[in-house]
């Protein structure tokens, strides 16, 4: 996989990964403006802008935008996170220019009716309410707030319903004007496209409408990972089960420890042959599912165990998880486990490398994070070089049951 990163004088970045024998082209228009970039008075605006860009331009109505995407037969969507907002599509090579025309229009020529603004605000309020009705979503949201308390990532990406209802159309226009600028923008292509064609599309649909003032690209900074204090947060919900997440602070997304931790995450709770699944479900029958999760940001990271069970089993499951943590910290992993789960890592990366949209999203995110792309091949070399001693050292460094933050959602 050969990826080229081109930085224009105005700070715009282009990322191109040509893939031979692929018929599709994936495109991402990533703007480095997420909930972590919002002020207290702007909470939820990054996500609100994501919605509104599809609601009309000076050239097209919102209905015309979605009709054109439908006519092209392409896949398209958008997402907002703590650190970015991304608009993306996947099309055959013959249709990618028409998609770029649409995204460029949305980026530069935002214009919507006040009625559409009001309706979309109501839609977002419904989205927030929908998430509040889903115990697992509540569990993750509350843990995020608990884990990042006092930092830029504390508030939910979608914001709060009360604030959403108070925003005015001018707030959207001002936020877009402030953040949708060249130095915050990454355009990424992967698949049946050459660097020369990607450059030509950028020259036609982006550069003429952008400021040409010299600027350095916005770049996330590598700082020491936060270490939030252990806490237990019960959240009352009328559910049959309790939904539980146990999170331990680890490194940030820049640390080289991330490779060993990711491999260990699969080993500890990544599938049906993992330690937690066997000990908690297969041997004791306490849960239907138990998994591990890991989220790394620029300011911190968490290693989490997630499960749901009837209330009478919750404390027992937590005890078994603690026992498994003690066991792996004191006794380590085995060579057999390392071999098995390293092979899993290989297979997952192989499958990812067959999907242009996954490659493209990964490339855009890596450029936003560290202004470089680490190829799958180079990642596999790093993972192949990991030893049992390496994994055990990282486990001892981070896994401490006395540092666990706990959120329990349910009765």
Domain layout of the chain by residue ranges: 4-209, 232-410
Q: Which residues contact 107 (CB under 8 A, 6 or more apart)?
A: 29, 53, 180, 185, 206
Give the domain 4-209 fold: Cytochrome Bc1 Complex; Chain A, domain 1 (3.30.830)
What global pTM score does this model have?
0.94
The model's pLDDT over 129-167, given as tens digits with 9 standing for 90+, comes to 999 999 999 999 999 999 999 999 999 999 999 999 999
* DSSP-assigned letter for residue 40: G
Length of the chain: 411
The CA angle 337-342-344, to the nearest 5 degrees, is 100
How far is residue 96's CA from residue 26's CA, in Å, rounded to a whole number?
A: 8
With CA atoms as reference, report the closest residue to 354 among 79, 77, 75, 24. Answer: 24
Distance of CA 170 to the CA centre of its chain: 28
Copy the structure tokens of residue 328. Answer: 């792996």
pLDDT, averaged across the chain? 96
Place of tokens 């998430």: 131
Q: Is 43 helix (H, G, I), strand (E, B) or coil?
A: coil
pLDDT at 233 over 90: yes
DSSP string, 129-151: HHHHT-HHHHHHHHHHHHHTTTS
Q: If pLDDT is split at 50, 70 and 90, which confidence band does 221 have?
A: confident
> CA–CA separation, 325 vs 161, rounded Å?
39
Is the pLDDT at 77 greater than 80? The verdict is: yes
pLDDT at residue number 175: 98
Instruction: Round to whole Å and give the CA distance between 292 and 245.
Output: 9
Backbone angles phi, psi at 259, to 5 degrees: -70, -50
Quote the percentage of the chain above a pLDDT of 70.
100
CATH class of 232-410: alpha beta
């Amino acid at each position: 996989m050969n990826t080229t990163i081109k930085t224009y004088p105005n700070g715009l970045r282009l990322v191109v990964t040509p893939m031979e024998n692929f018929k599709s082209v994936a495109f991402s228009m990533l703007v480095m403006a997420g909930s972590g970039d919002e002020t207290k008075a702007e909470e939820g605006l990054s996500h609100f802008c994501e919605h509104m860009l599809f609601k009309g331009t000076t050239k097209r109505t919102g209905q015309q935008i979605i009709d054109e995407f439908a006519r092209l037969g392409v896949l398209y969507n958008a997402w907002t996170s703590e650190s970015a907002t991304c608009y993306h599509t996947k099309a055959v090579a013959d249709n990618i220019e028409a998609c770029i025309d649409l995204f460029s229009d949305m980026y530069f020529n935002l214009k919507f009716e006040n009625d559409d603004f009001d309706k979309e605000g109501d839609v977002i309020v419904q989205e927030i309410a929908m998430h509040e009705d889903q115990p697992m979503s509540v569990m993750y949201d509350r843990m995020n707030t608990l884990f990042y308390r006092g930092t830029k990532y504390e508030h939910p990406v979608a914001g709060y319903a009360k604030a959403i209802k108070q925003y005015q159309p001018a707030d959207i226009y001002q936020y877009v004007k402030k953040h949708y600028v060249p130095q915050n923008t990454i355009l990424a292509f992967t698949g049946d496209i050459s660097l020369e064609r990607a450059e030509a599309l950028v020259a036609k649909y982006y550069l003429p409408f952008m400021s040409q003032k010299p600027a350095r690209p916005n770049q996330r900074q590598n700082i020491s990972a936060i270490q939030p204090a252990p806490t237990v947060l019960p959240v009352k919900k009328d559910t049959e089960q309790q939904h539980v997440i146990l999170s331990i602070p680890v490194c940030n997304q820049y640390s080289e420890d991330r490779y060993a931790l990711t491999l260990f995450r699969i080993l500890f709770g990544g599938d049906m042959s993992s330690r937690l699944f066997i000990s908690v479900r297969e041997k004791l029958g306490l849960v239907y599912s138990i998994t591990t999760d890991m989220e790394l940001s620029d300011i911190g990271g968490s290693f989490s165990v997630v499960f749901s069970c009837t209330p009478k089993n919750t404390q027992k499951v937590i005890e078994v998880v603690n026992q498994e943590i003690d066991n792996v910290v004191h006794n380590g992993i085995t060579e057999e486990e390392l071999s098995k789960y390293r092979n899993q890592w290989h297979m997952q990366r192989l499958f990812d490398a067959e999907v242009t949209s996954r490659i493209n999203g990964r490339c855009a995110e890596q450029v936003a994070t560290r202004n470089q792309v680490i190829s799958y091949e180079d990642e596999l070399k790093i993972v192949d070089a990991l030893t049992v001693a390496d994994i055990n050292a990282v486990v001892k460094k981070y896994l401490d049951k006395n540092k666990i933050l706990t959120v329990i959602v349910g009765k």
